[in-house]
Structure 1
Amino acid sequence: MTDPAALTFAILGPLSGTLGGSTLDLGPPQQRTILALLLIRAGQRVGVDEMIDALWESDAPASATNLIHRYIGTLRRLLEPGLPARDHGRFLSRDQQGYRLVIDRRAVDLLRFRDAVASARAAARADDRRTGVQLYVQALGLWQGRCATNVALTPSAVPAFATVDQERSSAAIDLANLCADVESARAALPGVEAAAHVDPLNEPLQSGLLRLLGMSGRQADAITVYQSTRKRLAEELGVDAGADLQETYLALLRQQNSGDEPAPTDHEPLVRPAQLPADLSTFGGRSAEIAQLSEALVDLPPRSVAIVGIDGMPGTGKTTLAVHWARQVADDYPDGQLFANLRGFDADARPVKPTEVLRDFLDALGVAPQRIPENLSAQAGLFRSLLAGKKVLILLDNARDTEHVRHLLPGSPGCLAIVTSRHSLSGLVAEHGAHLLTLDPLSQADAERALLRRLGHRRVTEDPEAVTRIIEACSRLPLALAVVTARAVAHPQFPLSLIAAELRQTRGRLDALSGGGSGIDVRAVFSWSYAMLAPGTARLFRLLTVHPGYELSVPVAASLAGEDTQAVHRQLDDLARNHLITETHPGIYRMHDLIREYAAEVCAAHDSDWERRQALIRALEHHHLHSAHAAQVMLHPHQMPTALRPAAGVTVPGPTDYRQATAWFVAQHRLLAEVVRLAVEQDEVEYAWRIALTLQQFYQRSGHLADWASTVSIALDAAVRAGDVVGEAHSRRSLAGAYHFLGRDDDARAELDRTLQLYEQLGYTTEQAYAFSNLGVVTGVQGRHAESVGHHRRALELYRAAGHRGGEANATAAIGWSENQRGNHELAIGYGRQAMAIYAELDDPLGVADCWGNLGDAYLKLRRYDDAAEAYERAAALALDMTDPPNQARFLVALGDSRLASGELALAYEAWTTASGILDELGLPLAAEVKRRLESIPPI
């Protein structure tokens, strides 16, 4: 007797069956058709006449009934081998009208689908959205195509199978409507997208797909879907898109253009990534090693990934060699070069996490920050997918070990990864088939060539004995030789014998710096060079180690030293001439980690704890008071949570416009996050949360949402531990914002509830109003528009009680926006005009412009397209007057949307073209999206 659980059928796609794990031969087409009918009607009778129509329709032979009975008998024996010919069996039962298939519901994918959908709908009715989404996703995941795709059906049979396909579409629509956050939207998208692909004229389904694509950050794809659907409706049915689909599309465009939300679209990199550091003009020697590295690429097995590891003791020149060779072969990798200093051995900083590196790499490759996953494995998968088919060179410098770079390596041929480390990289050979080069100190000949290149032929050849002693004192280490020869170059009148004598006197004063057991005394070389520095330059050299980043600018160095910027710039140049630091870009300096260890030791021995702490505080003040705050104000002027307190000895000019501020944050945001951690470690909690808050506007606008949440969480935890209620309140409000943009609105609400309690405890009336406004935004996004209006009204009361007219205007405008979402468009217009009057009274053209934008949205809802266009034009004109190009572009894009909605393609094209030029100049991600819209408009 056959085990019922061993029999399974699939019909959600090609019809197939298995028995005991073996594939069943389902027989000729007519027999498969009968089985398919029985499966889609499992448990119900299928009449013999219905089977005859399904097989032959009006051309049935006289023996049709007998043939049906024969096919049924064959199916019985197929399902239960050894069954007697006249036995009714367990699965197929017969009565006078037809046949019924009786089978375990778990054995048929269609029945499992129906059960999962029923459970999902029950969960949705119980308001258990999470469970409902999971069950719908599970149900839709069973589909592999249209129902019974490998069964030839007559026209009479088609409707029965089309009905099953509609069950799929209906479930996909329900799933799309159930999704309320980014996480659920991304989980639902594969199933809904697949269903929409096979049902392209189903407008509710296409509308649901548009919403999910928009929530998942795929606005460009959503617009493409809309344009394709609209075209098919016109060509195949002769109709335009319906009101619901059009409204969904317009809502998507408004979300995309909103200045309050990030635009989560992929964007092409403005330039091909070319991140390799500069090659040293004085590089010489290492010809044998370079030849070995080049041979490794020639001998690479077909279809294998090129990975090269360079390890060796500190100071052997691993990075210098890697950069030099990478630049030699860079032309073979035309899709770009990526570089990361992993800081695996920094004495006073943590190694860079792979997630941080991958975020930077993905951003450089054109992935919008909002589209970068938080999970390391997902980031690595996306990174490798982007590299597939491309030729990119990746240099991973200063890795801690093999595990440090495992997720940063390409997964397909065509790319080259170069990894350097002090530790052995033998694991790269074992796990990835890498070629490994262990770098030793220079040979005597190469060391002489290095000196020859740096000092010139005359000085080297006129005193070969001194050259030999210098090389011996430096233990043939390239780093030590660079430091020593710098002094010789700076003083061409000094004979090399004098320098060699000075070195001999210095050696042995300090303990040998560990070099893998070699006992090489590099510290002595550094101490010798340090002793030659002027007092002010020596002090700066020591204090540079207080700074948490491995690169720093002239203004930061001036803040550390508390000295005049010009004087510090001269001191930095002096340090660079002595090879104690390197100028990587104009005004940007980096210290080798080996030298940094030495400088930190000297700083600890020479400078008091008080002096080091004052330098740290000046650095924190620099980033918070002068640079981060000034840049933030350029992005979006608004009241800071607490008054800023200037500190003496800080000399930093701030950015003067939006573009400079954005560029500054792009370059500095990773460092600022590190500064927050350092401030927490040093118990400077107030600096930690203040600096974290200055990053909020950049994080929001750039889409670095995961960084926003993690950075402010660090500051929040520190504030809670320190009992800093003010810091806790402001940090929780900021964290709520991060959660909101990450789609975690329930978490955002929890943080805002706690924020309100703290503000009430502190007696901060205006801040309470601000938090209520935030709650209004969150609940509005959740679709709870009545609740949203209530929060905004509470904010309005508090602003009025505090006499805060600006807040009163903001709250009034927000009420109007929420009423617009509730469908009360005329009421929204009234609130918009009230808010506009207050903004005009306050001489706040930015507020007036926003009100015109909101009015445009309301008019668009009312299909008053001319009024909407006029409102957007007014908003754009005000933004132009205020020299506010980001908002000007935003309103112009909305203007184009209104023109498109009214069918005025030429005017839509004109507005979008102007917006595109502005966005291109600003380098904002929305630029690529507007170009896609322009391309979507047919030739006019």
Structure 2
Amino acid sequence: MALDVRLLGPLEVRVDGGQAAIPRGNATTILALLLDDAGRAVPVSGLVAAVYGDDLPLDPETQVQNTVGVLRRQLGAARGRIETVGRAYRFRIDEAELDTLRCKAKEREARALRREGQAEKAAAVLREALDEWRGPALADLPGRAAGAIGRRLDEYRLALLEQRIDADIDTGRASGVVEELRQIIAAHDTRQRLVALLMRALHASGRTAEALEAFAALKDRLADALGADPDRELVALHTAILRDRPAEPAAPPPPAASAVPAMLPRATPRFTGRETEIRALDRFLMDAGAEAGLAAVTGMGGIGKTALAVRWAHRVAHRFPDGQLYFNLRGFDPAAPGATPEDVLGEALAALGAGPVPAGLDERAGLYRTILAQRRVLVLLDNARDAAHVRPLLLTAPGSFTIVTSRDRLVGLDMGEGAEVVHLGPMPEVESEALLARRIGPERAAAHRDAVARIAAACGRLPLALTLVGSWAAADPHLALGELADRLAGAANVLNVLVSTDAASDPRTVFDCSYQLLDERDATAFRLFGLHPGPDLTPAAMASLMGSGLADARAALEALAEINLVEPLPGGRYSIHDLLRAYAAECFEDEVQEAARRAAALRMLEHYLHAALRAGTPVLDTGRPAPGVHAEDPGPGWFAAEHRVLHGLLRTQAGFQADLRVWQLGRVLAERALDGDGPGGDLLEVQALALAAAERRGDALERLTCLGYMAIGHHRGGDRDAARDCAGQVAHLAERAGGSWPAALAAYLDALLGGDPAAARRAKAGFREAGDRAWERRSRTLADR
């Protein structure tokens, strides 16, 4: 069966060469949503929110289910591609069958070629990706949800176009892209990345004056349209072009060496929270006294390091009368080389009004420290790659102070230079909700407190995401906050909602800056967090996921923790922020072949299954674990620590063998639940998932076992009708299967639900014959009542 699906233009679905007649309306909207998250489960609740918004029909989930049924019928031979996954649907489709997936594959290929220095081949590959567009994406579909997907896909096309033009400039085709860029900018006249490309192309073509004019024109447009200034990267490009321009005879002399720099960037007036961290920086400054102070602010991308450092620097600037210096070191920007200490020292000396700047790093550092030896100066070194990146730039003058921000934990600065470190995590609930309220208005926030709290939770209390969502709500006073909260909470991948045309405000782009710098081992470990159900894991679990030795897994986790992609926890465990987990899942799906994904999922299941058997009563012979599975000896409290992980694993779908392991894990957890005296809810949840795996395998004995556990769970919960229904299915399956154990289970349920001592005795005898002592003991307890 051949399938060809296209979103990049009018929606087209071809099955075996023929056009599938998909009815316009809700059916095409749901299809677009499923294809937008191709290969991932989309919750029914998310489909309801996207299709109906606040205008809900009677029983909207049934309406969605009916519409999915229509879709399946219209897909004909491809009907099985829409899979039911619990209370969600998934469209299973290969990379070659969907134009958006083909584009992403080409983009990955182009990135790899650029890293290898093959810009010309990369440009050709990007042209192939752009050829997939047949017009505006999904332009023929009505509705807000389809429109949002279409706009995002067209924004993606613009990003691909920028990458292709960038590659063309690198291959010496600068003059050939100038007119193309001018035409694109005419339609997107405040997009700074496009103007940066035009400036580069003009400058490389010897048209420097036009490049500077393009910058000036953009500056005017931004001021008129948005009341904003060009971003720092564009200003830096403008400065670089100015410096590269031939000197003019009437150039003014350089400023005197007594110039007082005031280089701090503008602090956001809406800065909210982080009072504890600000007080810590105040204390570090006070403790430094007459010494040269040094502090560092570390944390994951988007956590608000720069905003905090700039806010605090303005707060204390009056204490540094000899000036404030600011440098963006671009340590985690894969699209631009990081600023070298030598370059930064050159900029610093120019800002300080030094005369001729020496050529070497040591000479520049010496002159820099000599000039500042008797001055009280504040230096903010933003976005450092690591400790080595900033050491030549640290101040030594008494009364001066250096503050560094980085995604790296900067352990070297702490140990070697005595830096005081402030580590930023997600904002507390109160502060994250206050940040949203500050952005959208206190009265509006107070009127929708529940929605604000849900938005903050869906954003993972990450300042970058909170600010982005807050700006949307502020720009549209009619936007229903409850609807926005539903959209964020119901999204299969919240990063598909948190999208910005400004790269600095887009979480996915910000995370990508860290990910692109990882080596293969560490990138593999990071991607696998997207497979693991969370909330945290041990090095032994990561070793099994990777199929590697424990030392490699521990080293990879430590490396990821060093740059704040994961968070070390007490007890040697590691966690990851929810939005980073979503990004890791994207990378896992996009970059790992299906066979490798299934193998990793099976190793993960086997790791936890064998650990669970060692932590509890052995009830199964599961054989030897798969190759690459690392044994873990669970200690006291292991089940409590891994509760969420174990339940999450039951949702794993990675083939026939994985389904067997899911069922086996479900049985281990059920046996543990039976030996407790708690309610049956947990038992029911576990067995519903294990039963789905058993049904996929078509194994009657496995189904019978799950239904037996579910009967007990319903009985504990007081639902006698549901318990009897499950028990009836067990009796039917036991009669068909034969054997002492199935018959004994059916008898046990008769005794449990009907109070029949004779049935309990039959169960006890049957379990004794089957050699199952645990169930024999349970039957004896019933018989003795």
Q: TM-score by structure 1 length?
A: 0.29
Structure index of larger Rg: 1
Q: TM-score by structure 2 length?
A: 0.34
